[in-house]
Amino acid sequence: MELFPAFGSRSLRGAPTMPQSGLSKKIAMFNVETIRKDFPILQRQVNGKPLVYFDNAATSQTPQQVIDAIVDYYSNYNANIHRGVHSLSQEATDKYEEARLKIQKHFNAKASHEIIMTAGTTHGINLVASGFTALLKEGDEVIVSALEHHSNIVPWQMLCERSGAILKVIPMNDEGELVMSAYDDLLSEKTKLVFVNHISNALGTINPIESIIKKAHAVGAAVLVDGAQACPHVKADVQALNVDFYVVSAHKMCGPTGVGMLYGKEEWLNKLPPYQGGGEMIAEVSFEKTTYAGLPHKFEAGTPNICGGIAFGAAIDYMNNIGFKNINAYEHELLEYATKRLLEIEGLKIYGTSKRKTSVVSFNLDGIHPYDVGTLLDKMGVAVRTGHHCAQPIMDYFKIPGTIRASFAFYNTKAEIDVLVEGVKKAKMMLS
Amino acid sequence: MTIKAIQEDLIDEFSMFEDWEERYQYMIDLGKTLPLIDEQYKTQENIIKGCQSKVWVHAEMDSDKVVFTADSDAIITKGIIAILIRVFSNQHPQDIIDADTDFIDAIGLKEHLSPTRANGLVSMIKQLKMYAIAYQTQLQ
């Protein structure tokens, strides 16, 4: 079995931690200390303290294997793809298309041309929102959830402005879960599109997307699922979900920034017009008429992020080698431990208390601004996110300016959570 | 006291601290000395943009000097604006316009000048100077 096909048979200089041996026993091998050695950044200090990185929901860290794929590309076969007749171009094209196949396999898409390489989740959402302008008419309805990131709200508001469609919102409850009975009431034959995140970035709630998709399809609406927060935790199967569009960013799952994927069912991608014009996306061009290339190239104008795409493939390999079951089980353990330990602190309130949630703890200290706590935690080497997490409607619901969000990844440890807890206690003492 | 002299005082005060904890504790304490803005001026338009926490600043003239008052919903931000107001309040507008802000580096708060920091220290300085420019124009 070729475990790192992205690297091929190429020998990698400066790749000391390729875990070639023992990978077949990967399930039994989950050892966080070994895994941490794959991440050079985890060895560094911040403000004189060992880095405790709990901002994984904003961006994940990058393992050596992915860094090596990036270095390998620029060191050995950097060339433009799909056009060149020379060997380097062929090689780069092969690797890039190999990455697309890995992504297809990972998300279990029926065909590789249903995988559109994008610059990230936001790009994927905008591509679909732009395409739907032509498909919607005045009075049509589109449904969004109250748990969305701004990037899954604003493009649809812009779509509504262009098309005259009406935006409806599935409300949330105190636990940070969507109120499904309200969703049922919003659905009608007027509903054309539903967009919802798989997992909330601000609270970590796992949304019941299976049921959301089924119900939307029952009234003939298409569904786009924003998988940006899900992709590091859950291996989504787009065919089993029967979802119409699924979008992710590579940098949320150990890959580089500036690259992502849009999965779209072939029938939908064929219906949508191209998003951007340029090279790569055409079949024939004359000043009278241009015909467009087939899928996926129709949506991939210009030179793509070739290196990023290849490194995305390496990131998918890396995470699958660790195994999503292992990742899930371990992160759940971290979540439970962090929740228990943080709640020992008097006056600490956790937002997002659904039983179905990923390893995100969003919290506040009574009467203390989240910004103050975040600033002091940074001085102690602990990286958390503070603020509204680009999800202002959620903060408005709870009537708070923001939260402190600690989000955990499979390379974090309980010892690090202890550092966070002590840090929060110290911050509380200084700020009270 | 001139702006320069106040800045030097601050540098002296902060030089006594050995670690970040003492420095931040002092900033928090300085926040408690902040001349508070009158509630009626806590309006949307007096909020300084670019801060993760809310910061309100009000300015008025007392003969030929600008007097600042402010408040924030975050304690550290309150400390930062208190430091700025101690430096710039009760000064002639032209002196505020001409003043440099190198002291921020010297008191160990340089990290707050980075544009990625969400506290908007840069926006605060800009706003105080904008008030000074407006009053200077009136004086002329």
Gyration radius from chain B CA atoms = 14
Write the pLDDT tens digit of every residue in A163-189: 999 999 999 999 999 999 999 999 999
Distance CA A297, CA A288 (A): 21
pLDDT at A232: 97
Q: What percent of chain A has pLDDT over 90?
A: 82
Nearest CA in chain A to B78: A372
Burial A263-300 (b: 16+ CB within 10 A, else e): bbbeebbeebebbeeeebbbeeeeeeeeebbebbbbbb
The pLDDT score that the predictor gives to residue A47 is 86
Topology annotation, domain B3-139: Sufe protein. Chain: A (3.90.1010)
Identify all chain A residues contacting B76, using CB atoms and an 8 Å cutoff.
371-372, 375-376
Residue A296, preceding peptide bond in cis (omega within 30° of 0): yes
CB A204 within 8 A of CB A352: yes
**A contact residues 20-59, partner B, Cβ 8 Å cutoff:** 47
What domains lie within chain A, and their CATH numbers? 87-319 (3.40.640.10), 324-431 (3.90.1150.10)
- What mean pLDDT comes out for the span A46-53? 93
DSSP-derived 3-state class of residue B123: helix
Specify burial of residue A406 (Cβ count, 10 A radius: 0-12, 13-18, 19+). buried
Token pair recorded at residue A133? 């302008």
- In angstroms, what CA-CA distances link A306 with A228, A257, A311, B29, B118? 20, 12, 9, 52, 33
Instruction: For A388, name the nearest residue in chain B, comparing CA atoms only.
Output: B52
Catalytic site residue from B51, B59, B80, B85: B51
Tokens of A429: 């003492």
B119 vs A402: CB contact, 8 Å cut-off? no
List beta partners, residue A403: A387
A47 CA to chain B: closest CA distance, Å?
9
| A181 contacts A210 by C-beta, under 8 angstroms | no
Answer for the pair A32, A335: CB distance below 8 angstroms, yes or no.
no
Q: Are A338 and A420 a contacting pair, CB within 8 Å?
A: yes
B119–A372 CB contact, under 8 Å: no
* Beta-ladder partners of A309: none
* Domain locations along chain B: 3-139
Question: pLDDT per residue over A319-328, tens digit each?
Answer: 999 999 999 9
Residue B35 DSSP class: -
Within 8 A of B21 by CB-CB distance, chain A residues are 379, 430
Averaged pLDDT of chain B: 90
Residue A6 has what pLDDT? Answer: 39
Q: Write down the pLDDT at residue A21.
A: 45
pLDDT digits (tens, 9 = 90+) for A350-403: 999 999 999 999 999 999 999 999 999 999 999 999 988 888 889 999 999 899
* pLDDT band, residue B116 (cuts 50/70/90): low
The whole-model pTM stands at 0.89
- Distance in angstroms (rounded) separating the CA atoms of residues A375 and A384: 9
- Interval A66-71 mean pLDDT: 98
Average of per-residue pLDDT values in chain A: 91
Does the pLDDT of residue A105 top 80, yes or no?
A: yes
- Cα distance between residue B9 and residue A138, in whole Å: 65
Give per-residue pLDDT as tens, B119-128. 578 889 999 9
Strands (E), B36-112: 55-62, 65-72
Interface residue A375 vs chain B (CB under 8 A)? yes
pLDDT tens sequence across A270-292: 999 999 888 878 888 888 888 88
Are residues B75 and A368, on separate chains, in Cβ contact within 8 Å? yes
C-beta of residue A336 within 8 angstroms of C-beta of residue A312: no
pLDDT tens by residue, B8-59: 999 999 999 988 899 999 999 999 999 999 999 999 999 987 667 889 999 9
What average pLDDT does this structure show over A143-161? 91
Q: Does B29 touch chain A (CB under 8 A)?
A: no
Which of B95, B24, B111, B39 minimizes the C-alpha distance to B69? Answer: B39
For tokens 């400390």, what's the residue? B79
